[in-house]
């Protein structure tokens, strides 16, 4: 009698486990995550920004604003704006997981002699926010880009 009870319990457990396995296999696939939770590659942000054409447009607008801004204008007016824009497109594309490789100068070296302070850095970030607003980039995606750029202040601000 005891043996029969044990056998029934084992059979029951086996059936339950089989049902759970089948349910797991036939469950609908979860939607693809837009942001990788496990550090795997995602180009979702790059796509949100309109890929390469979107970034080129964004940088054109951004540079126009940087030159017109009384704080950042003195830095960018005399600089090679065409080169900086092209380098920024590649840099942002790579940061956002797009199919680009930044081949420009590293952030510490290129800004080392410019004497950039916190107010200069903040003014640049503000112009980038205006440019992103104009491109209709959603606020949460703007913040994702800003979060990728923020750590750079440590090597760019030297004053």
User: Under the criterion CB under 6 A, does residue 62 sit at the interface with ligand HEM?
Assistant: no
Distance CA 23, CA 64 (A): 57
CB atoms within 10 A of CB 120: 20
Q: How far apart are CA 120 and CA 114, in angstroms?
A: 11
Residue 80 near ligand HEM by CB under 6 A: yes
Under the binding rule (CB under 6 A), the answer on residue 58 touching ligand HEM is no
Q: Binding of ligand HEM at residue 126 (CB under 6 A)?
A: no
Torsion of CA 113, 103, 93, 64, to 10 degrees: 40
With contact defined as beta carbons under 8 Å apart, do 131 and 69 qualify?
no
Given 46, 49, 62, 76, the residue binding ligand HEM (CB under 6 A): 76
Q: How far is the CB of 43 from ligand HEM (least distance, A)?
A: 19
Chain residues binding ligand HEM by CB under 6 A are: 72, 75-76, 79-80, 83-84, 87-88, 91, 104-105, 110-111, 114, 116, 120-121, 124, 149, 152, 156
């Amino acid at each position: 009698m005891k043996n029969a009870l044990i056998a029934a319990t084992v059979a029951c457990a086996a059936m339950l486990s089989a049902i759970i396995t089948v349910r797991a296999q036939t469950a609908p696939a979860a939607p693809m995550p837009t942001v990788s939770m496990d550090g795997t590659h995602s180009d979702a942000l790059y796509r949100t920004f309109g890929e390469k054409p979107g970034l080129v447009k964004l940088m054109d607008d951004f540079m126009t604003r940087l030159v017109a801004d009384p704080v950042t204008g003195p830095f960018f007016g005399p600089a090679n704006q065409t080169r900086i824009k092209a380098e920024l497109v590649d840099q942002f594309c790579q940061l956002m997981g797009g199919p680009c490789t930044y081949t420009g100068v590293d952030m510490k070296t290129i800004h080392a002699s410019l004497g950039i302070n916190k107010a200069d850095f903040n003014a640049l970030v503000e112009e980038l926010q205006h440019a992103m607003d104009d491109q209709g980039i959603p606020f949460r995606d703007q913040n994702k880009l800003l979060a990728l750029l923020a750590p750079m202040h440590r090597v760019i601000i030297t004053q």
